Structure 1
């Protein structure tokens, strides 16, 4: 079969013939119909993000495809089923605290790297081998819509944070980093889940205005000034009432002061979920005030990716019509043009834009 290979960090990908994956018990083989090309793939492939990804490797994080074969222990999955290939692979011998690897992308800790040595190659290929539980059924779709369904890859990360904070209909959410891919996905999801209001701070006025145009009065854009105290006050004033929750998706290049200014807006008993990259490239710590957290009964938690149970919930939001995938504009590339796809994803990064490979 054909696959794109990253021979080493800093080198372009090459499309080569590689051996067909073989499966055993607890595994499924999936024909990749569309694979998302993440906007920061150039940073991963250059080594700038310092991801744990052994090379040479077939990269690629998630896909939409059709089951080709299943292992002998599969009881419901059938060849021909349309599935989302969930890249979040969890160890099966640590139910309470599983080791995790992002197949074809990165790993977390020593256990995650051990898992990665087996589930190593990703979805920039004609076929991919995944754990059976990671071939998540999405129901029948028109093949031409496979690229748009790749939005689920980003949406699930945002959904994982909203589930972690137990976000409820009628609440007001502040999305820190609302003008990025994950932040804008959080905006769409929160509205689909019944948010009273979503406060969307950022510095890109054009993107903020486009969010308001797209979603209407339940979006409240706030243009940040860079003055932390003033920005906190502006975000509080913009909300129609107390801010119940904050979801942070700020990238590694942003100062911790920006994240702190957003979190401090929370009402008494408010919740904050941290899912971004603040501090990954160095810089100051988040340094939230201890007395404020204690006296205001604030919950701050981290969330990496999402639980497996999030996938059927996400599919349900899409199938019900509450979340419209037509919001996403998709640009597709054949596997032979994988390097062009990676460049395009970086150049055209932004809310509601998708780049997809069609192996």
Structure 2
């Protein structure tokens, strides 16, 4: 079978023939119809982002495909089924604290690399081997283009954060990073899950307006200035309104922000989902946490590259829950599929650009240039 192989950091992917896997007990072989190309894949392949990987391998994080063969212990999956390939692979010999890897993408730690040594190749290939429990039926969604369904991989990340926040219908949530790739998906999901209002701070006015246009008045945009999105490096060429904002102390600015966010929310904010990218400024995350109501929850699952200074007494006295979340729980894909099948979540607003496997390098570059809100790039290894 053909695969786009990642052999050396800093070198292009190469299209090669590799042996077809044979599924054993607890495994399934899937013919890949479409695989998402993450916007930062180029940074991983060039070494700008250091991801622990056992090279060479076929990369690729998640896929939509057709079951070809199953191991002898499969009781539900059958050849011909359309499935989502969840990349979050967990070890089976420690249910309490399993080792976890993202198949074809990252394997942090010795245990995760043992998993990767077996389930080595990801979805940039005509076929892939994965654990039975990582294949989720999409038979109810066969009317949707498989390339469009690769959005499930992005949506699963945001959905995992919303589940961690325990978002309930009628609650109010704020999404940090709402104008980004994962953040905009979180806004769509929060609306689908029945949030009364979704506070969406950001400095891209066009994208904020687009969120409201796509998902309705329950989305409450808050346009931020450059100073508000980068507290530690204010521009000398700030506007007069930014200069006025900069004149306040940090605590005063936090109070101003809380007021603006609560005005947009029309009351208390129940939870925060922080999906900011790899920035080095902790202020946006800190102010988001400080905006959550007493007894509320803040979920951190972005890429902020610095430590947070959170007041101990403030957290304690306000009974705040601050938790991290990486990817999603095992049951999340089934719930997400039903959100779409029921009509609560419509994939129509989400665009996808496709490339054949032979153009994997072009797809990686295209994804890097087109990785914003509602934009996704996908490979189609099987040529359909």
Q: Per the shorter chain, which TM-score range? A: over 0.9
Deviates more, 1:214-223 or 1:132-141: 132-141
Task: Say which of 314, 319, 327 aligns to 2:349.
Answer: 327
Deviates more, 1:198-207 or 1:132-141: 132-141
Distance 1:49 1:143, change over 3 A: farther
| CA offset digits 1:150-186 (Å, max 9, x no partner) | 0100111111111112110000000001111111111
Task: Say which of 356, 371, 375 aligns to 1:353.
Answer: 375
What aligned pairs does 1:179-218 form with structure 2 within 5 A after superposition?
179-218=179-218
Q: Give the distance between the partners of 1:8 and 1:253, measured in 2 at CA.
A: 27
Asked if residue 313 in structure 1 is aligned to residue 335 in structure 2, the reply is yes
Alignment partner, residue 247 of structure 2: none
What aligned pairs does 1:182-331 form with structure 2 within 5 A after superposition?
182-225=182-225, 226-227=227-228, 228-229=253-254, 230-279=256-305, 283=306, 285-331=307-353
Q: Normalising by the residue count of structure 2, what TM-score does the alignment of the two structures yield?
A: 0.90
Contact 1:235 1:262 in 2 (8 A): no
How many Å apart are 1:142 and its aligned residue? Answer: 4.2
How many Å apart are 1:141 and its aligned residue? Answer: 4.3
Asked if residue 131 in structure 1 is aligned to residue 131 in structure 2, the reply is yes
Alignment partner, residue 178 of structure 1: 178
The residue matched to 2:212 in structure 1 has which SS?
helix
Alignment partner, residue 63 of structure 2: 63
How many Å apart are 1:232 and its aligned residue? Answer: 3.7
Contact 2:54 2:113 in 1 (8 A): no
Q: Give the distance between the partners of 1:297 and 1:95, measured in 2 at CA.
A: 29
What aligned pairs does 1:66-77 form with structure 2 within 5 A after superposition?
66-77=66-77
Q: Give the distance between the partners of 1:330 and 1:41, measured in 2 at CA.
A: 16
Distance 1:232 1:241, change over 3 A: closer
Q: Give the distance between the partners of 2:143 and 2:332, measured in 1 at CA.
A: 24
Q: Give the distance between the partners of 1:235 and 1:337, measured in 2 at CA.
A: 44
| CA offset digits 1:86-115 (Å, max 9, x no partner) | 100000001011110100000232211221
Q: Give the distance between the partners of 1:179 and 1:113, measured in 2 at CA.
A: 34
Q: Normalising by the residue count of structure 1, what TM-score does the alignment of the two structures yield?
A: 0.96
Contact 1:10 1:46 in 2 (8 A): yes
Alignment partner, residue 155 of structure 1: 155
Q: Where does structure 1 lack aligned partners over 5 or more consecutive residues?
A: none
Q: Give the distance between the partners of 1:179 and 1:109, measured in 2 at CA.
A: 32
Larger radius of gyration: 2
Contact 2:141 2:341 in 1 (8 A): no
The residue matched to 2:34 in structure 1 has which SS?
strand
**How many equivalent pairs are there?**
355
Q: Give the distance between the partners of 1:38 and 1:333, measured in 2 at CA.
A: 13
How many Å apart are 1:204 and its aligned residue? Answer: 1.2
Q: Where does structure 2 lack aligned partners over 5 or more consecutive residues?
A: 229-252
Deviates more, 1:136-145 or 1:191-200: 136-145
Deviating runs (4+, > 3 A) in structure 1? 140-144, 230-233
Alignment partner, residue 241 of structure 2: none
The residue matched to 2:216 in structure 1 has which SS?
helix
Q: Give the distance between the partners of 2:214 and 2:25, measured in 1 at CA.
A: 46
Deviates more, 1:216-225 or 1:84-93: 216-225
Q: Give the distance between the partners of 1:250 and 1:179, measured in 2 at CA.
A: 10
RMSD between aligned alpha carbons? 1.3
The residue matched to 2:163 in structure 1 has which SS?
helix
The residue matched to 1:327 in structure 2 has which SS?
coil
The residue matched to 1:23 in structure 2 has which SS?
coil
